[in-house]
A = this chain, B = another copy of it.
Amino acid sequence: MNVGSTKENNLEKRISITPETSKSFKNLGLNVFLEKGYGESLGFKDQHYLENGVEILNSSKEVVSKSDLICKVNLPNEEELNVMKENSYLIVSSINSEKDKNYLNNKIKVFALDLLPRITRAQSMDVLSSQANLAGYRAVIESIYEYEKAIPMMMTAAGTVPAAKVLIVGAGVAGLQAIATAKRLGAIVSATDVRTTAKEQVESLGGKFLMVEGSENLETKGGYAKEAGEDFKKKQAKMLENAASKNDIIICTALIPGKPAPRILSENVIQKMKPGSIIFDLAVTQGGNSAYSEVDKIVNKNGVKIIGISNVMNKLPLTASSLFAKNVFSFVRNLYSKEKKQFILNMEDEIIKSTLIQGRN
Contact = CB atoms under 8 A, between A and B. Distances in A.
A144 to B, nearest CB: 6
Nearest to A150: B319
Contacts of A150: 134, 137-138, 316, 319
Contacts of A137: 150, 152
A318 interface: yes
Interface stretch (A202-210, A238-246, A322-330, A342-350): A322-330
- Kindly report how many copies of this chain are found in the complex they form together: 2
A327 B157 CA distance: 9
Given A43-B303, A149-B318, A156 B184 contact: no
A157 B134 CA distance: 13
A158 interface: yes
Interface stretch (A62-70, A80-88, A121-129): A121-129
Contacts of A148: 42, 315-319
A128 to B, nearest CB: 11
A184 B152 contact: yes
Contact of A43 (B142, B185, B275): B275
Given A129-B158, A130-B156, A185-B185, 18 more contacts: A42-B148, A43-B275, A124-B158, A129-B157, A130-B158, A138-B150, A141-B144, A148-B316, A148-B317, A149-B318, A150-B319, A158-B323, A161-B319, A161-B323, A181-B185, A184-B184, A184-B185, A184-B186
Interface of A: 42-43, 123-124, 126, 129-130, 133-134, 137-138, 141-142, 144-145, 147-150, 152, 154, 156-159, 161, 181, 184-186, 275-276, 303, 315-319, 322-324, 326-327, 330
